């Protein structure tokens, strides 16, 4: 199962926050993958104004 989120900084506890503060004015775009009992979570970028402006992280 996969969960894609665009939540305020720190709202989705498994998604890394890049060290950003909770009241920073943007959301973290995250992806959590559940495989049986394993969870893999990563941050994909940031968004502002409810998704009107997106900033994606470079792929690794």
Residues 5-41 pLDDT 10s: 999 999 998 999 988 988 888 999 999 999 888 999 9
Q: Report residue 30 as tokens.
A: 């995250």
E strands in the chain: 2-8, 27-35, 38-48, 53-56
pTM: 0.81
End-to-end CA distance of the chain: 22
């Amino acid at each position: 199962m996969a969960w894609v989120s665009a939540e305020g900084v720190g709202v989705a506890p498994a998604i890394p926050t890049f060290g950003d503060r909770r009241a920073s004015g943007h959301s973290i775009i995250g992806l959590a993958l559940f495989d049986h009992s394993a969870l893999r979570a990563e941050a994909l970028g940031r968004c502002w104004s409810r998704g009107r402006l997106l900033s994606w992280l470079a792929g690794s």
